[in-house]
Structure 1
Amino acid sequence: MTTTAVSPDARQLWRRGRGPLVAVAALVLAGLLLALLGAGEDGTLHPRSATQHGSRAVAELLADRGVDTTLATTAAQAARAAGPDTTLLVARPEALTDGQRRTLAEATAGTGGRTVLVAPGQVTLDDLAPGVRAIDPVEAQELEPDCDVPAARRAGGARLGGYGYVQAGAPTDAVLACYPIPGVPYTVPTLLGIQKDAGGDTVLLGAPDILYNQNLDEDGNASLALQLLGSRPHLVWYLPSGEAPASGDEESITGLIDPGWRWAALQLAIAAALAALWRARRLGPVVPERLPVAVRAAETTEGRARLYHQTNARDRAADALRAATRTRLAPLTGVPPAAAHSPEALPPAVAARTGEAPAAVHALLFGPPPADDTALVRLADDLDALERRLAPLDAFDPTKDTKDKDHTP
């Protein structure tokens, strides 16, 4: 008797599921890579980013000169770090909300420290540098200083551009304008040092070019950047990111998520949709099937036999064979159906009809289970032989018996 496996084994399960598992792993890995590349230490103007538009070179040069750099990602952190011995660099001031700008303005007013704003627009100037007006950006170019700011005079020419700034009212000594743009009337500067009370000042940088890694070795960019950011022993590098808005500010949940994560989630969704379409093509059209379906009795018998064989259930198989034989022998020997399975009634009646010893008939119909498969086959043959001796020749037709047992569920 051959064995037939019903449940899939581990190898079959792996073959079926390895494709989807590999696809899911690839999607997760791609999402993580996209998120890491789009945020954190690889971002623009990040003090630990070594990319072309990062600012790691400036941070390391400042560290060599004894200036420690602290990265802040929320307005509250930046406000707490403000002080007379601290330079606060706001890398992306246009990303601040109204409440965050007010928080920084209150924290830096009268502290005596320095605040450096990188490419601030008019909205930022109204809160952090009142009295200054922003004009349209200009292309970055090498400019020479024209002011008495020591840092600018020592640095000399530097590559500057971006927003230009002018005083909103009459010129005063509180504002020092440097690096005027050639050919622009009224001497429009791209860099302003605004003197504030208690010895502090606010520096407006029209563009972030001098802070980029790729531009630091050009002209006097490195000297100007180090002097603007290294005038105090502590530098707080405020890089605004997704943070909870201050009281009174309205911000959607999607606006608080870093752009890198949003792009990663979008690409994962597209990849998942494509994977679903790819797998759906394998389903194919629906195949109609006529019902009911006829199942031959021999197939059912063989299926049960295989199950018995797989579990070594020789005792149950023998009981099934003996019970069926007893049921068929009872009417042939005149034993009532209720007594067909009685060891006291059926064996004597069968022995009287066949001439066999009652003990032998009892052992055949009610004996112990066979010890092995060979004994089980021998038992089946002996039961068939006993039934043939009692049943009429035309009544014992295996073909007719099989057809009678066909059924249609």
Structure 2
Amino acid sequence: MTPTVTAADTAAPTSSTVAPRRLWTRTRGLVLALALLIAAGIAIAALHSDSRHGSLDPRSADQNGSRAVAQLLKAQGVDTRVVTTLDDATAAAGPGTTLLVTEPDLLTPGQQRQLHAATADSGGRTVLIAPTAPSLDVLAPGVHAEGSASVAARAPGCAQPAATRAGRADTGGVRYAAPDGNSDGCYPADGLPTLLRTPAGHGGDTVLLGAPDILLNHRLDEQGNASLSLQLLGTRPHLVWYLPSLGDASATDGGQRSFFDLIPSGWLWATLQLALAAVLAAIWRARRLGPLVIEQLPVAIRASETTEGRARLYRKANARDRAADTLRSAARARLAPLLGVAPSAAHSPDVLVPAVSARLPATGRDPHFPLFGPTPADDTALVRLADELDALEREVRTS
């Protein structure tokens, strides 16, 4: 007799087929965390991009750009040229040129040496915006950065003509320690200048500006910022505005940096914080488990507890196929010795089903479905299968 298989039976899910709703329940936390991480990254990138767009660029009219000071210089007859490569910047150096370097710390050691060699005896002026230890040793030998101060309106505090004519200006940022008495320091903060001019060969000089605020569009009309900017950048007929770029080919020569040199310093603290958080999380999770309990072995566990625990695992994993296979396999193994079937043939339907049918009353009942049928469609069908196997085994024992 051929067993009847319903549509519900053939469509029964197995442990390898996870329902979409259950899959979403398991992964929604991870998906939500990933979405929040991506959204935060996009937001931070957008804010960073907006704040850095056109910063100190004489072509930019943004509040952090410097188009206003470039226009004032143009009105005074100063020609402003923007360059983004070191070769263009060094080629333009000369007695009639002011070279403004917006981010000297971005230059590699090789680029710094090349820039210093081109400007040291050029007779022109070099203006460095907020240089610190990575670039000071090469571009301004002997000058040291001594911490920073907030940007505020400060008095000149020196006899340098450009500063005395400009008066109070929004200065601050990096503070510098002058190497000798030949350097002119102005706009002091906590006793150290934030504007320092050091002489160079052939009548040239190098100016260190601790903060770029006097050059920004939105602050140019405050205090004496415009006057100080024009006097610092307008002493020569030509102004070369150097915006260092990471794409400059000269960044790969001679002064190569290691992988750790390229990693921002903030990542070290971030890594330490993540490590500390991981340790604290491990301690927290370990304490939730409670103290260790010592038991005398061997420990006897009731068979009913093992059965119930395994059944709960099957149900949690939605593994009706494996639960049904376990029930049928155990039933076949118990029926085989009762029917005189060899253990090796206990799981063969061609051998076991006829042997079982011969021991059952002539009721037309087919033992193939409970012993070798498809996976139950739901938990109710699984319970019914267990009952059928139990009834089948009792009938064989009592026949």
Q: Give the alignment's TM-score, normalised by structure 1.
A: 0.50
Q: Aligned partners of 1:299, 1:190: CA distance in 2, in Å?
A: 82
Instruction: Quickly say closer, same or farther: Cα 1:319–1:221, change in 2 above 3 A.
Output: closer
Instruction: Quickly say closer, same or farther: Cα 1:220–1:195, change in 2 above 3 A.
Output: farther
Instruction: Quickly say closer, same or farther: Cα 1:245–1:298, change in 2 above 3 A.
Output: closer
Q: Any idea what the Cα deviations from partners look like across 1:5-50, whole Å, max 9, x if unmatched?
A: 979866666666666776787788879988999x88868x9637xx
Equivalent of 1:103 in 104, 114, 137: 114
Q: Aligned partners of 1:153, 1:298: CA distance in 2, in Å?
A: 88
Which residue of structure 1 lines up, in the alignment, with residue 225 of structure 2?
A: 221
Instruction: Quickly say closer, same or farther: Cα 1:258–1:248, change in 2 above 3 A.
Output: closer
The answer on whether the counterparts of 1:144 and 1:157 sit within 8 Å (CA) in structure 2 is: no
Read off the aligned partner of 1:225 and give its amino acid letter: S
The answer on whether the counterparts of 2:123 and 2:204 sit within 8 Å (CA) in structure 1 is: yes
Which residue of structure 2 lines up, in the alignment, with residue 275 of structure 1?
A: 281
Correspondence 1:178-193 to 2 at 5 A:
192=197
Instruction: Quickly say closer, same or farther: Cα 1:294–1:27, change in 2 above 3 A.
Output: same
Which residue of structure 1 lines up, in the alignment, with residue 338 of structure 2?
A: 328
Which residue of structure 2 lines up, in the alignment, with residue 403 of structure 1?
A: none
Q: Give the alignment's TM-score, normalised by structure 2.
A: 0.50
Q: Aligned partners of 2:140, 2:324: CA distance in 1, in Å?
A: 95
The answer on whether the counterparts of 1:31 and 1:268 sit within 8 Å (CA) in structure 2 is: no
The answer on whether the counterparts of 1:196 and 1:202 sit within 8 Å (CA) in structure 2 is: yes
Matched, 1:47 2:37: no
Which residue of structure 2 lines up, in the alignment, with residue 81 of structure 1?
A: 89
In structure 1, list runs of 5 or more residues that go unmatched: 49-54, 170-174, 332-340, 391-409
The higher radius of gyration belongs to: 1
Which residue of structure 2 lines up, in the alignment, with residue 262 of structure 1?
A: 268
Q: Any idea what the Cα deviations from partners look like across 1:85-105, whole Å, max 9, x if unmatched?
A: 764334576898875543222
Secondary structure of the 1:284 match is coil
Q: 1:285: Cα distance to partner?
A: 3.5
Secondary structure of the 1:47 match is coil
Q: Aligned partners of 1:122, 1:256: CA distance in 2, in Å?
A: 16
Equivalent of 2:156 in 117, 136, 143: 143
Instruction: Quickly say closer, same or farther: Cα 1:27–1:157, change in 2 above 3 A.
Output: same
Q: Aligned partners of 1:233, 1:4: CA distance in 2, in Å?
A: 76
Q: 1:194: Cα distance to partner?
A: 4.4
Q: Aligned partners of 1:296, 1:222: CA distance in 2, in Å?
A: 89
Q: 1:259: Cα distance to partner?
A: 2.4
Q: Aligned partners of 1:323, 1:224: CA distance in 2, in Å?
A: 98
Instruction: Quickly say closer, same or farther: Cα 1:285–1:80, change in 2 above 3 A.
Output: farther
Secondary structure of the 2:100 match is strand
The answer on whether the counterparts of 1:100 and 1:245 sit within 8 Å (CA) in structure 2 is: no
Read off the aligned partner of 1:102 and give its amino acid letter: R
Instruction: Quickly say closer, same or farther: Cα 1:138–1:264, change in 2 above 3 A.
Output: closer
Read off the aligned partner of 1:142 and give its amino acid letter: A
The answer on whether the counterparts of 1:84 and 1:113 sit within 8 Å (CA) in structure 2 is: no
Q: Aligned partners of 2:357, 2:137: CA distance in 1, in Å?
A: 113
Read off the aligned partner of 2:214 and give its amino acid letter: L
Correspondence 1:92-241 to 2 at 5 A:
101-109=112-120, 114-118=125-129, 128=139, 141-143=154-156, 152=162, 156-159=166-169, 163=176, 192=197, 194=199, 197=202, 201-205=204-208, 207-208=210-211, 211=214, 216-229=220-233, 232-238=238-244
Q: Aligned partners of 1:122, 1:377: CA distance in 2, in Å?
A: 82
Instruction: Quickly say closer, same or farther: Cα 1:211–1:323, change in 2 above 3 A.
Output: closer
Matched, 1:291 2:294: no
Q: Aligned partners of 1:268, 1:209: CA distance in 2, in Å?
A: 34
Q: 1:294: Cα distance to partner?
A: 4.0
Secondary structure of the 1:234 match is strand
Q: Aligned partners of 2:194, 2:394: CA distance in 1, in Å?
A: 114
The answer on whether the counterparts of 2:353 and 2:367 sit within 8 Å (CA) in structure 1 is: no
Q: 1:106: Cα distance to partner?
A: 1.5
Which residue of structure 2 lines up, in the alignment, with residue 61 of structure 1?
A: 68
Instruction: Quickly say closer, same or farther: Cα 1:384–1:153, change in 2 above 3 A.
Output: closer
Read off the aligned partner of 1:276 and give its amino acid letter: A
The answer on whether the counterparts of 1:79 and 1:103 sit within 8 Å (CA) in structure 2 is: no
Q: Any idea what the Cα deviations from partners look like across 1:235-268, whole Å, max 9, x if unmatched?
A: 014599xx9898589x775454222333333333
Secondary structure of the 1:291 match is coil
Q: 1:212: Cα distance to partner?
A: 6.8
Read off the aligned partner of 2:114 and give its amino acid letter: T
Q: Aligned partners of 2:27, 2:390: CA distance in 1, in Å?
A: 44
Which residue of structure 1 lines up, in the alignment, with residue 77 of structure 2?
A: none
Q: 1:224: Cα distance to partner?
A: 2.0
